């Protein structure tokens, strides 16, 4: 069996993995980055909307190649049809880009390669190697060939399906109400507002929402997330999405170009994201915004934090759970309060009926909110409907 | 009832020697891998375009409930 040796092996070349590999390599580590599929960034499992503010923070320069659209604002709509249009002047940093993920992900992997990371395509991790109880590498299948990769530390960036963390003995299981089951269509021939990302909330998408993110003239990613506990029998995510599309006149002539599915964690991160010789990043660490399901910026941040710390630790060679704690602390300090607040908001939102949601959107319309962020929206709601934010009012 | 063409989902015995009964409709499956990450027993694998269950499956039906297109059935 062929054996490779390196300082760090990163499983998964999505945004989290590529960022981790890049910062490990930049710090002088010998890094191998694995990708199970035959193409980085495809098939798509994402609505492709991101905000802009964090790109600079993680050292990503916007490139025209992977920006599909520069959004002017957002539209929030209730199932009953009350609409709130949010313009750039008010949306601040919450407005952003719609990406071409297949190009974005490749650009991040390219940056990792430029920094010195070695990429192995069509290579899937099949297990973790332990010697005397200590993780010393991974088993993998590369282009059909069984191999071993020996490393001082493993970075699990294998996304929602993360098995590497579980093979390493970490509990990554989610409760049903902490999972949203999602389906998305790339639709053409539809009558949508270009440059605005639309979110439809309420009974049309129990415990989640429907999104319409424009991808050019008459084309959009039209998708839905439905809370796991709300999926019953025939009422799966596809059922709810098809039901909405059938009654929304804008989709009358719409045709589907692509169907994609995927799940998203709506938990505010795992309780533990490190163990001896292993770090979990991005979706694998369940670091995702529970209310939007957005995880790209969280993936890039956790990837960078992990990469920077590992490069530092490589000087001493100590990758114990204790030594890895600064990673845990850094991402929690940066993101955990917001994730927790949004998780509470999501839990509450899932309990509200369409009339209340309609009232809330009407309230937002009339309230003078200068800079519309989830935080400021919740603040306005707190004033008028304190019951809605009961239990997490301290975070607002 | 559509049955999976994947051999491992057609009556592979689990650790208790029982035949597990979750089947995949391969004509519906989007290969999104959502069930893989949702399985409490780590018993589902997405190998390219084939969804496979191993003997750790306990027939809990969580994947059936969550599949966005209803491609999984518990019989």
Q: Indicate if A201 and A253 belong to the same structural domain.
A: yes
A235 touches chain B (CB under 8 A): no
The reported pLDDT for the residue numbered B2 is 30
B68 and A179 in contact by Cβ < 8 A?
A: no
Q: Which domains does chain B have, with CATH numbers?
A: 7-74 (3.30.70.20)
- Asked whether A242 and A251 are in contact (CB, 8 A), the reply is no
Q: Indicate if A36 and A121 belong to the same structural domain.
A: yes
The reported pLDDT for the residue numbered A94 is 62
Q: Which domain CATH number covers A63?
A: 3.30.9.10
Query: Which residues does A274 contact at the CB level (< 8 Å), separation at least 6?
Result: A280, A321, A324, A325, A327, A328
What number is the average pLDDT over the span A108-124?
Answer: 98
Residue whose entry in the numeric block shows the structure tokens 């995510």: A237
Residue whose entry in the numeric block shows the structure tokens 């990503």: A60
Confidence of residue B20 (pLDDT cuts 50, 70, 90): low
- Residue A9: phi and psi, rounded to 5, are -115, 125
Out of A160, A162, A236, whose CB is closest to B67? A236
The reported pLDDT for the residue numbered A92 is 62
pTM value is 0.93
Alpha helices in chain A (DSSP H): 15-26, 54-57, 88-91, 101-114, 164-167, 237-247, 296-313, 325-331, 337-349, 354-366, 374-384
Q: Indicate if A16 and A115 belong to the same structural domain.
A: yes
Nearest CA in chain B to A161: B37
Give the separation between CA B72 and CA B65, rounded to whole angstroms.
8
B33 and A161 in contact by Cβ < 8 A?
A: yes
Among A265, A289, A319, residue at a domain's last position: A265
Average pLDDT over chain A, rounded to an integer: 93
The reported pLDDT for the residue numbered B16 is 65
Among A218, A241, A265, residue at a domain's last position: A265
The reported pLDDT for the residue numbered A388 is 80
User: Which A positions 44-103 lie with beta carbon below 8 A of chain B?
Assistant: 45
Q: Indicate if A187 and A246 belong to the same structural domain.
A: yes
Alpha helices in A271-391 (DSSP H): 296-313, 325-331, 337-349, 354-366, 374-384
Q: Which domain CATH number covers A141?
A: 3.50.50.60
The domain in which residue A384 lies consists of 344-395
Helix (H, G, I), strand (E, B) or coil at B11: coil
Contacts of B62 in chain A (CB under 8 A): 176
Query: Which residues does A45 contact at the CB level (< 8 Å), separation at least 6?
Result: A260, A261, A262, B32, B33
The reported pLDDT for the residue numbered B8 is 44
What number is the average pLDDT over the span B26-50?
Answer: 89
How close, in Å, is residue A113 to chain B by CA atoms?
25
What number is the average pLDDT over the span A237-246?
Answer: 97
Q: Indicate if A254 and A165 belong to the same structural domain.
A: no
ipTM: 0.88
What number is the average pLDDT over the span A254-276?
Answer: 95
Between B53 and A243, residue with greater pLDDT: A243
Confidence of residue B49 (pLDDT cuts 50, 70, 90): confident
Q: Indicate if A193 and A255 belong to the same structural domain.
A: yes
Among A342, A361, A377, residue at a domain's last position: A342
How does pLDDT run across A25-56, given as a tens digit for each residue? 999 999 999 999 999 999 998 999 999 989 99
What number is the average pLDDT over the span B4-16?
Answer: 50
Q: Indicate if A37 and A79 belong to the same structural domain.
A: no
The reported pLDDT for the residue numbered B10 is 44
Q: How many domains does chain A have?
A: 3
Contacts of A262 in chain B (CB under 8 A): 32-34, 68
Confidence of residue B5 (pLDDT cuts 50, 70, 90): very low
Residue whose entry in the numeric block shows the structure tokens 């029982």: B18
Give the separation between CA A33 and CA A115, rounded to whole angstroms.
12
The reported pLDDT for the residue numbered A127 is 95
How does pLDDT run across A293-344, given as a tens digit for each residue? 999 999 999 999 999 999 999 999 999 999 999 999 999 999 999 999 999 8
B62 and A159 in contact by Cβ < 8 A?
A: no
pLDDT at A274 over 90: yes
Lowest mean pLDDT among A146-150, B16-20, B67-71: B16-20
How close, in Å, is residue A91 to chain B by CA atoms?
32
Q: Indicate if A73 and A134 belong to the same structural domain.
A: no
* Interface residue of B33, B68, B70, B71 to substitute, partner A, most A CBs within 10 Å: B68
User: Chain A to chain B, count of Cβ pairs less than 8 Å apart?
Assistant: 75
Give the separation between CA A184 and CA A198, rounded to whole angstroms.
14
pLDDT at A23 over 90: yes
How close, in Å, is residue A98 to chain B by CA atoms?
21
């Amino acid at each position: 069996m062929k054996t490779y040796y390196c300082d760090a092996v990163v499983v998964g070349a999505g945004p989290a993995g590529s960022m981790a590999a890049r910062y490990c390599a930049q710090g002088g580590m010998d890094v191998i980055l694995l990708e199970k599929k035959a193409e980085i960034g495809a098939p798509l499992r994402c609505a492709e909307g991101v905000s802009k503010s964090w790109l600079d923070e993680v050292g990503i320069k916007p490139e025209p190649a992977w920006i599909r659209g520069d959004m002017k604002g957002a539209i929030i709509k209730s199932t009953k049809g009350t609409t709130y249009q949010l313009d750039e002047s008010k949306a601040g940093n919450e407005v952003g880009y719609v990406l071409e993920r297949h190009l974005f992900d490749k650009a991040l992997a390219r940056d990792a390669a430029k920094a010195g990371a070695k990429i192995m395509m069509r290579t899937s991790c099949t297990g973790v190697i332990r010697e005397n109880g200590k993780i010393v590498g991974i088993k993998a299948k590369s282009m059909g060939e069984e191999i071993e990769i020996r490393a001082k530390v493993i970075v699990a960036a294998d996304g929602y399906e993360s098995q590497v963390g579980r093979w390493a003995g970490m509990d990554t299981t989610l409760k049903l109400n902490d999972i949203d089951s999602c389906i998305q269509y790339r639709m053409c021939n539809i009558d949508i507002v270009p440059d605005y990302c639309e979110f439809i909330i309420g009974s049309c998408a129990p415990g989640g929402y429907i999104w319409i993110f424009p991808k050019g003239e008459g084309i959009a990613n039209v998708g839905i997330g439905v809370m796991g506990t709300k999926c019953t029998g025939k009422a799966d995510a596809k059922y709810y999405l098809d039901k909405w599309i059938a009654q929304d006149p804008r989709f009358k002539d719409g045709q589907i170009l692509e169907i994609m599915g995927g799940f998203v964690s709506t938990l505010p991160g795992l309780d533990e994201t490190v163990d001896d010789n292993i770090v979990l990043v991005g979706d694998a660490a369940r670091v995702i915004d529970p209310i939007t399901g957005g995880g790209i910026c969280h993936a890039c941040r956790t990837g960078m934090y992990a990469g920077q710390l590992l490069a530092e630790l490589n000087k001493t060679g100590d990758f114990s759970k204790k030594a890895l704690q600064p990673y845990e602390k850094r991402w929690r300090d940066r993101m955990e309060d917001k994730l927790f607040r949004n998780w509470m908001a999501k839990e509450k939102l899932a309990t509200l009926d369409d009339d209340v949601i309609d009232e809330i959107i009407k309230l937002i319309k009339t309230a003078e909110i200068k800079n519309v962020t989830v935080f400021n929206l919740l603040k306005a709601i707190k004033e008028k409907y304190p019951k809605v934010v009961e239990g997490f009012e301290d975070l607002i | 009832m559509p049955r999976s063409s994947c051999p491992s989902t057609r009556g592979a015995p689990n650790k208790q020697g029982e035949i597990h009964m979750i089947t995949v409709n391969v004509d519906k499956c989007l290969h999104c891998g959502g069930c893989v990450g949702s399985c409490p027993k780590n018993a589902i694998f997405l190998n390219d375009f084939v969804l496979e269950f191993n003997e750790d499956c306990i027939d809990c039906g969580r994947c059936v409930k969550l599949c966005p297109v209803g491609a999984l059935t518990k019989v």
